[in-house]
Amino acid sequence: MNNHNSFRHAVVMGAGPAGLTTAYELSKHGIGATVLEKDPEYVGGIARTAQHNGYRFDIGGHRFFSKNLEVEDLWTEILGDEMLTCNRLSRIYYRGKYFDYPLKATNALLSLGPVETVRCMASYAWAKLTPVREPRNLEDWVRNQFGERLFQIFFKTYTEKVWGISTSELSADWAAQRIKGLDLTQVLKNALLPPRELKERGEVIKTLIDEFRYPRFGPGQLWETVRDLMAERGQPVQMGQTVERIRHENGRVVSVEVRDQAGSVRQVRGSDFVSSLPVRELVLKLDPAPPRAVLAAARSLSYRDFLSVVLMIRRRELFPDNWIYIHEPGVQVGRIQNFKNWSRWMVPDEETTCLGLEYFCFEDDQLWKSTDEELIALGTREVVQLGMCERAEIFDGAVVRQRKAYPVYDDVYLDHLGTIRQWLDANVPNLHLCGRNGMHKYNNQDHSMLTALLVARNIAGVTKLDPWKVNADAEYHEEVRDGEQDLSGRQMPSRVREEEPVA
């Protein structure tokens, strides 16, 4: 919180949902902001909508759904009728068959067929007779609850594609928290008994939501509109401007050093500085550098990257789903988006379809280093192998790469984030962190936006709320105290810990 009342101008690093929400909210309080974005073309960050020859596509697929009504209202305030309501259909594809997602016992067993169903039941019975005592890894935990065969079909391949780690190396904690006490007997009981009535909105389980909102032209439309509104208010977002250094002196950040596309460097000054940059990059850009322990903590933060191969196909309809989870072994693609089924305005020609094939990877993987041509060839091979279309129907393609799509939660990240936060709070209190990578939180847009709203209001002096107390559902939780376990990020699997030495 600021204690100086003189000149107020914020410098906002990044024009993703967090950065743009900060600037938009600050403008409501009469405080100017210079928004610096390194991308020369797109605003919206990971929630941008990229374009290729008239086709529009997301980085992933961005559902607009929030338990936070203020965020929902903000979407309506900015886009009005341009926010469409979509029905959700997403299924699992495995060995030529589609399974409902979220999984439904009767549908799953019917689709597997009688022979496989008997095998799954026998394997479940065997798991119950021979459970792994105190399962520590995900594989043993899921096998205990569902049996080996169902584990192989519905858990193993997709989890390994997303996280790039064998399920035998992933900790059981994540599954235990997400799937709670559920096992096959419970699932079958639920399938046969009438559903319990949901009492309030908060009770709806995330994956069960079958409706969501979506801007007519994709999530980028929201952020392009905010960009345009900011320009109308005399504060255009500065594109192609990479923040390279963050200078601080006497306990305050005083300026950031920015490099433009042509390579020229300038200083941008302000009274408050807001960062949605990945925490690791932010800390390494501080000048003078913070102590070695803080730098080491920043360097230890890690990320998972993501790329999407977009294929344009000359066929009116391929499948009715918004997206499909690919559990099929033998292909690398993890999920396939069908953008036309999100909004028909995402394709320029209704006789065609645009698919986004999602590959989860690390930036030093061979996959990431492949050329666009190689990736389009891979995507083409896989989509044909999956039987979704003919090779001859594919007439165009593009590749979108997203570094640091997912901040990784490993055993040490919370301690290291704590070290960083403590140093920043004590040494540069006019530097405010918000957003997904900006706070190293694996969360959705609504979380990024609410943290940004709080930061803006703190700067304006109208509130004094701690953005770190916003949870994964974009709800503010005052009761989280310093030092308590941080549950504000979505749950994510981590590696099995080393065995505790026996005393």
Q: To 10 degrees, what angle do helices 138-146 and 105-129 make?
A: 110
With binding defined as CB under 6 A, does residue 17 bind ligand FAD? yes
**Interface residue with ligand FAD, options 153, 277, 309, 420 (CB under 6 A):** 277
- Residues in region 301-320 near ligand FAD by CB under 6 A: 306
**Interface residue with ligand FAD, options 11, 23, 26, 46 (CB under 6 A):** 46
Please, is 499 exposed, middle or buried when counting C-beta atoms within 10 Å of its C-beta (0-12, 13-18, 19+)? Answer: exposed
The pair of three-digit structure tokens given for residue 294, joined into one six-digit string = 């803080």
| Binding piece for ligand FAD, criterion CB under 6 A, among 10-18, 143-151, 167-175, 386-394 | 10-18
* Residue 182, C-beta contacts closer than 8 angstroms, at least 6 positions apart: 145
Residue with Cβ nearer ligand FAD (49 or 353): 49
How is residue 154 annotated by DSSP?
I
Q: To 10 degrees, what angle do helices 219-232 and 69-79 make?
A: 70
**Interface residue with ligand FAD, options 37, 148, 224, 305 (CB under 6 A):** 37
Rg (CA), the chain: 24
CB atoms within 10 A of CB 481: 7
- Considering CB under 6 A, how many residues would be counted as binding ligand FAD? 33
The pair of three-digit structure tokens given for residue 414, joined into one six-digit string = 């919370």
CB of 275 to ligand FAD, least distance (A): 9
CB of 42 to ligand FAD, least distance (A): 7
Q: Are 14 and 48 in contact (CB under 8 A)?
A: no
CB of 412 to ligand FAD, least distance (A): 22
With binding defined as CB under 6 A, does residue 243 bind ligand FAD? yes
CB of 19 to ligand FAD, least distance (A): 6
Q: Are 268 and 258 in contact (CB under 8 A)?
A: yes
With binding defined as CB under 6 A, does residue 39 bind ligand FAD? yes
With binding defined as CB under 6 A, does residue 78 bind ligand FAD? no
CB of 226 to ligand FAD, least distance (A): 11
Q: How far is Cα 367 from Cα 299, in angstroms, rounded to an integer? A: 24
Closest Cα to residue 488, out of 439, 455, 454, 420?
439
393: left (phi over 0), alpha (psi -120 to 50) or beta: alpha
**Interface residue with ligand FAD, options 12, 31, 36, 470 (CB under 6 A):** 36
H or E element at residue 356: strand 353-361
Here's the x/- map for ligand FAD, 419-448, by CB under 6 A: it reads as ----------------xxxx----xxxx-x
CA distances from 402 to 45, 179, 399, 476 (A): 9, 29, 10, 29
Paired sense of beta strands 265-269 and 97-100, if any:
unpaired
Residue with Cβ nearer ligand FAD (62 or 227): 62
**Interface residue with ligand FAD, options 10, 11, 12, 13 (CB under 6 A):** 13
- Residues in region 103-162 near ligand FAD by CB under 6 A: none
CB of 172 to ligand FAD, least distance (A): 25
Residues that bind ligand FAD (CB under 6 A): 13-19, 36-39, 45-47, 59-60, 62-63, 242-243, 276-277, 306, 405, 435-438, 443-446, 448
